[in-house]
Amino acid sequence: MKHLELTGWGERLSVLCIGAHSDDIEIGAGATILGWIERGVRLDVHWSVLSAQGARADEAHASAQAFLAKAERAVIDLAKFRDGFFPHQGSEIKDWFETLKTRTSPDVILCHWRGDAHQDHRQVSELTWNTFRDHVILEYEIPKWDGDIGQPNVYIPASRALMERKAKLLNDHFGSQRSKGWFDGEIFMGLARLRGMECRAADGFAEAFHARKLTVQ
C-alpha cells in the first residue's frame, strides 16, 4: 500500500487539537503528535480543551506542555464548560468555536469521532465540522466502557517507544484518572497494537482516525 505524507522533515505543519476533556487529545492522538515532532516536522499547535477546571485544568496544562515540549510553537487554550453537559450548553460552546476560528488557521484538525458514544465528544465533533468547513479533519478514537470502537479509515503508524512514551506521559500527568478502569496503559497499547496490525505498521503500532472528506493531488 502506498503511504501518503501530510508533511516531511523540516516542513511546517499547523495543527489544531480539540478535546472535550483534559486527557482526550493525548489518548486519541498523543503518539501522532509526538511522532511528528520526532520526525523533524516544525509543528505549530493550538491545543484546545473545552472542559478543564480546577485540578483537571492543572493536569491538562502540564500534560500539553510535556507533549508539546519540542514543538516549534504551542498555544494551550483551556475552557471551563461543564463535563457531561455539552449538548445542554450548545449555544455557549458554539460561540466558543466561532471565537476559536478567529484565533487559528490550521492545516490539520484533530478532534473526536462523530460516532463516539460520549455526548460531549459527539458535540465537539459536530461543532468542529460546523465551524471549520474547509479543512483536513481527522477524528480520533477514545476507548471506553461503552464499547464504541468503530472502523477507522486513516492510520498513522507509531513505534513501540512512542506508544510507551505516550502511555507514561498519560500516567504521569493524569493522577485523577488512574482509578478508572479504562485509563490503563495496556489498553492504550493494546488498541494501538490492533490498529498497527490492521495497517501492517512496520513496528506493529498505529493510531487510527476517521476522515470523512479528503482531497488528494
pLDDT in tens, 23-50: 999 999 999 999 999 999 999 999 999 9
State how far the Cα of 10 lies from the Cα of 118, in Å rounded to an integer: 37
Nearest-CA neighbor of 31 among 215, 203, 213?
203
DSSP 80: B
**pLDDT score recorded for residue 2:** 80
Q: For strands 12-21 and 154-158, give the pairing.
A: unpaired
Cα 27 from chain centroid?
7
**pLDDT score recorded for residue 170:** 98
**pLDDT score recorded for residue 117:** 97
The reported pTM is 0.96
What is the SS3 assignment for 34? helix
Which residue ranges of the chain lie beneath pLDDT 70?
none
Q: Which CATH architecture has domain 12-210?
A: 3-Layer(aba) Sandwich (3.40)
